[in-house]
Amino acid sequence: MYRKKRIAILTGGGDAPGINAVIRAVAKKAILEYGIEVIGVEDGYEGLIHNRCRKLHYDDVSGILTLGGTILGASKTSNPYRYAVTAGGRVVFEDVSRKAIRNVREWGIDALVCIGGDGTLGIAHRLMKDGVAVVGVPKTIDNDIRGTEVTFGFDSAVAIATEAIDRLHSTAQSHHRVMIVEVMGHRAGWIALYAGVAGGGDIILIPEIPYGIGAIAAKVKERHRKGRRFSIVVVAEGAKPKGGDFVIKKMVEKSADPVRLGGVGFVLQDQLEKITGSETRTVVLGHLQRGGSPTAADRVLATRLGSKAVDLIVDRKLGQMVAVKEGRLTAVPLEVAAGGPRTVPRGHPLIAAARSIGTSFGD
Ligand code: F6P
C-alpha cells in the first residue's frame, strides 16, 4: 500500500533564536510542496530515545517565525550513544541508540532533520552510519560549526550583545569606569569579536588570542592619559590568559561536553582594578543572548536553511548538513560539522580591521 513520505524534525543542544523559523520552513515546504508528513520529536534526542514524538500539522508551524526558543523543546544532555543514567548513586553512561533507532523505524520516518550544533550533528552522523537517513541544519549562537561560514542564531546573539555594550557605554562614561562585558561563545570568540567591533569595545578578548593582564591595563591607562576616563572590555567566556586556562563556571556531569564556561569577567575585574586603580564593573550577558525573537537576518537564514534541508531529503543527498559558503547555500558531509569547533583564525580580517583602529586584543 502507498504510504506518504514522512520526515521528523529534532532540535538538540542549546536553543538559539531562529530554531522555530527553521522548523516552520522545513515543515511548511515538506507539507505544501511535497505532501510529506512531518513529525516533531520532543526535547532533542531525549524524545527520540523515549518515543516522545507528535505529528506536526500546518497550523502547528504557522505563526512561529518570530518566536524565540524551540516549540519542540531541546536537551543538552541526551546522547543515545552515551546516555546518562543514575545507578547506585553514580552517573553511568549507556548506549541506548538501538532504542532510538527502533523508534525511528516504528514511526516510519524516512528522514530525520537534526537542527543543532557540533554535538547534535556528531550524533546525527553516527545515526546515519547506523542506517538512519539524516540531514543536518547548523544552529548555534556561537557560530562555531565547521563546514559553514555562518550559523543561524549568531546574528541575533551579536545584536543583543551589541545593544548591551551600547547601553553600558553611557554608564561607563558617566562614572569614569571600566566596564567588562562577558559574552558567550564557548571555546570560540566569534560573538565577542563581532559584538566587540559593533559596540566599539576598546579591548576585545577572545580564546584564540590569549591575553596579558599588563597589556589590558596599559590600554586602559593610555586611554585615561588621553582624556578617555572610561573603557569597555568585551570578553568571551572562553578567553584565557597567556599560559593559563579558561574559567569554568560549573561541570554538568550528564552532559557529553560537561564544561560550562563563565566568570572570566570577574577575574579580570579584580586584577584590573588593582593595577589601574580605576573602578571596574562586570556584566555577564549569559542566556540573554539565546533568548527572544531572531533578527531579520536570522529569520532569512533560517528560512533558507530549512528550505534547503527539504531539498536535500527529496534529492536523497543524505548524511549532509546544509551550509553557507561564500554567501551561497551548499551541503557538506555531516562528519565535517562533527569535527570540533570552528574557532576564529588569528588572521581574520575583522581582527586586522579592529587593530588598525586602535582596538586592543590584550596581547
Ligand atoms: O553553545 C551555546 C552556549 O550558549 C554557549 O555559548 C555556552 O557556553 C553554553 O551554550 C551554555 O550552556 P548552558 O545552556 O548549558 O548553560
What's the pLDDT tens digit per position in 152-194? 999 999 999 999 999 999 999 999 999 999 999 999 999 999 9
363 as an active site residue: the answer is no
Residue 258 has pLDDT above 80, yes or no: yes
Residue 195 confidence (pLDDT): 98
User: Among 81-95, 223-237, 281-295, which stretch is predicted with the lowest mean pLDDT?
Assistant: 81-95
Name the pLDDT band for 299 (thresholds 50, 70, 90). very high
Q: Whose CA is nearest to atom 12 of ligand 1?
A: 260
- In ligand 1, the atom with minimum distance to the C-alpha of 191 is 6
112 close to ligand 1 (CB < 6 Angstrom): no
Q: What H or E segment, with its residue span, contains residue 137?
A: strand 134-138
Share of the chain above pLDDT 90, in %: 94
Q: What is the pLDDT of residue 334?
A: 97
Q: Is 283's pLDDT higher than 70?
A: yes
Buried b / exposed e across 340-363, counting CB within 10 Å, b at 16+?
Answer: ebbbbeeebeebeebeeeebbbbe
- What are residue 203's DSSP bridge partners? 233, 360
Q: What is the pLDDT of residue 255?
A: 85
Q: What is the pLDDT of residue 320?
A: 98
Q: Is the pLDDT of residue 55 over 70?
A: yes
Question: Is the model's pLDDT at 301 over the cut of 70?
Answer: yes
| pLDDT of residue 1 exceeding 60 | no
Please state the rounded mean pLDDT for residues 94-111.
97
Does residue 295 carry a pLDDT above 70?
Answer: yes
pLDDT at 185: 98
Residue 268's pLDDT band, with cuts at 50, 70 and 90, is very high
**pLDDT at residue 257 in the model:** 82
What is the percent of the chain where pLDDT is above 70?
Answer: 99
Ligand 1 neighbour 183 (Cβ under 6 A): no
Ligand 1 neighbour 146 (Cβ under 6 A): no
Predicted pLDDT at 45: 97
Whether the predicted model's global pTM rises above the 0.85 cut: yes
Rounded Cα–Cα distance for residues 242 and 232 (Å): 21
* 260 C-alpha to ligand 1 centroid (Å): 7
Identify the residue whose C-alpha is closest to ligand 1 atom 8.
186
Average pLDDT rounded to a whole number, residues 37-42 = 98
- For β-strands 231-236 and 203-205, DSSP reports them as parallel
Q: Measure 197 CA to ligand 1 centroid, in angstroms.
A: 22
Q: Is 290 in the pocket of ligand 1 (CB under 6 A)?
A: yes
Atom of ligand 1 nearest to the CA of 249: 16
CA distances from 9 to 44, 100, 115, 311 (A): 9, 14, 8, 15
Nearest CA to ligand 1 atom 5: 186
**Residue with CA closest to ligand 1 atom 2:** 14
Q: What does the block give as the cell for 289? A: 543572548
Mean of the pLDDT values across residues 187-213? 98
The ligand 1 atom at the shortest distance from the C-alpha of residue 141 is: 2
Query: Is residue 185 within 6 Å of ligand 1 at its C-beta?
Result: yes
Which atom of ligand 1 lies at the shortest distance from residue 238's CA?
A: 8
∠26-32-35 over CA atoms, to 5°?
Answer: 95
Asked whether residue 253 carries a pLDDT value surpassing 90, the answer given is no
Ligand 1 atom nearest to 287, measured from its CA = 4
Instruction: Report the nearest-CA residue for atom 14 of ligand 1.
Output: 14
Can you give the pLDDT at residue 160? 98
Nearest-atom number in ligand 1 for the CA of 289 is 4
In short, whether 187's Cβ falls inside 6 Å of ligand 1 is: no
Query: Ligand 1 within 6 A of 142 CB?
Result: yes
The residues that bridge with 183 in the sheet, in sequence order, are 236
Could you tell me the three cell numbers for 52? 516522545
Which residue did the predictor score with more confidence, 280 or 91? Answer: 280
**Ligand 1 pocket mutation, candidates 11, 15, 75, 76, criterion most atoms within 8 A of CB:** 76
Which of 118, 142, 144, 298 is flagged as catalytic?
142
Stretch 28-45: mean pLDDT: 98
Residue 208 Cβ contacting ligand 1 at under 6 Å: no
Q: Cβ(261) to ligand 1 under 6 A?
A: yes
